Amino acid sequence: MSTENGISHNGAISGTNSTGVVITHSATPLPEGVHLPLYMDNHATTPMDPRVLDAMMPFFMGKFGNAASRNHQFGWEAEAAVEIARAQIAKLIGATAKEIIFTSGATESNNLALKGIAEMYRERGNHIITQVTEHKAILDTCKKLEKMGFRVSYLPVQADGLIDLDDLRRAIVTEGPDKTILVSIMFANNEIGVIQPIAEIGKICHEKGVLFHTDAVQAVGKIPVDVQAMNIDVLSLSGHKIYGPKGVGALYVRRRNPRVQITEQINGGGHERGMRSGTLNVPGIVGLGKACELCMQEMEAEAKRELELRDYLKTKLENAIDYVHVNGNMEHHLPGNLNMSFVYVEGESLLMGINDIAVSSGSACTSATLEPSYVLKALGLGDEIAHSSIRFGLGRFNTKAEVDYVADKLIDVVLKLRELSPLYEMVKEGIDLTKIEWAAH
């Protein structure tokens, strides 16, 4: 779209907002409280809460000490701030402060958990269990471990995204060289929002004497997480998914019943009780701690508000558009997540039609090809339906006015695209597409 003096040929006015993002305003006046571009992709990342930034600011300048410098006030201040954050994080997940290890984010936490446990417990066995819909930070780490000689089982999921607990029980090997040493199942899925039966999984693992790790990035701070009640031995979390800073995360490592040992993957000064060397990111850690404290205080009310907005969006879309399909079990589900397929609509065209709204599509850009999401494929969705899927990630700062804008815009775009769809026209005429023999050219 070409522009001249900030006005495009279709009548939209474009400019740059305070963060340098190029924004395009429709010539039609926007509803009050709605500003473009509009962000509704809070599973990818979240904007930082201003209260988190306020807590971090002193540690960039005046209180800039190294938390490992234990012979002067600058170091003592930094260390004290780190320990406060450690306690704030621990409280949110039902752990103790000594069980919290700081990392650069959840990807590092996942790598440290899987590789560190695999290396430490290699003498006991070489079998690891995970699921096919894990985040790439788990799947790619498992592929690496397979190259190192470990055997990994990838559990399938049912059509609603949940694993079958009997599949897990059958997969666990309790003796011999192939003995299972670790099960890693994500708490809540980043694409479809489905919450796995974590407490039951942990109970099965403990009954069989197997360590249980969960990537809880999407769950911590959004729904109640209790590592004790849920039998979790190791847990990964991240700052930027809960309105904290990017580049900081943590790993919970159980200290008793059982005591979990992890081999460090970054060698250096033996920081973080010998599990993760490196000078601590004090401002980031302070921000992560503050973000956890805010979640502790506001999670219940926030979850209720997000759930209401999500159900409002879902109902509005379902009432206006036929052939829409909600992906994932809606009973065991994150409050702010909604993943919907708009059948008989081409996914790329749909995204282009709502390009002033930040959402996630059912396709992943890999090199030059658009591949359907492996998570949606694992649910049994065909390529066409997976391609027509949108993930809405509602968050702390989204409003009802924004939800109305998104719904109205999407309804308008889908209906226009459907008018251009010969397949949709055939279905409306009662033709069964599965019985058509398409001619090859």
Nearest partner of 58 among 290, 307, 261, judged by Cα: 290
Distance, CA of 42 to CA of 38 (rounded, Å): 11
365 included as an active-site residue: yes
DSSP 278-339: S---HHHHHHHHHHHHHHHHHHHHHHHHHHHHHHHHHHHHHHH-SSEEE-S-SSSB-TTEEE
Distance, CA of 123 to CA of 116 (rounded, Å): 13
With contact defined as beta carbons under 8 Å apart, do 357 and 345 qualify? no
Supply 432's token pair.
Answer: 């069964």
> One-letter amino acid identity for 194?
V
**Measured between alpha carbons, how far is residue 102 from residues 64, 83, 154, 223, 280 in Å?**
18, 11, 28, 22, 8
Q: What is the three-class DSSP state of 435? A: helix
Nearest partner of 187 among 162, 160, 157, judged by Cα: 162
Question: Of the residues 142, 205, 295, 365, which is catalytic?
Answer: 365
β-bridge pairing 180-184 and 211-215: parallel
Cis peptide before 422 (omega within 30 of 0): no
Q: What is the three-class DSSP state of 23? A: strand
Question: Nearest 5°: phi and psi at 357?
Answer: -120, 125
With contact defined as beta carbons under 8 Å apart, do 43 and 393 qualify? yes
Strands (E) in 360-407, as ranges, are 360-361, 363-366, 369-372, 389-393
Distance, CA of 93 to CA of 227 (rounded, Å): 6
In angstroms, the first-to-last Cα distance of the chain is 34
Please list the active-site residues: 365
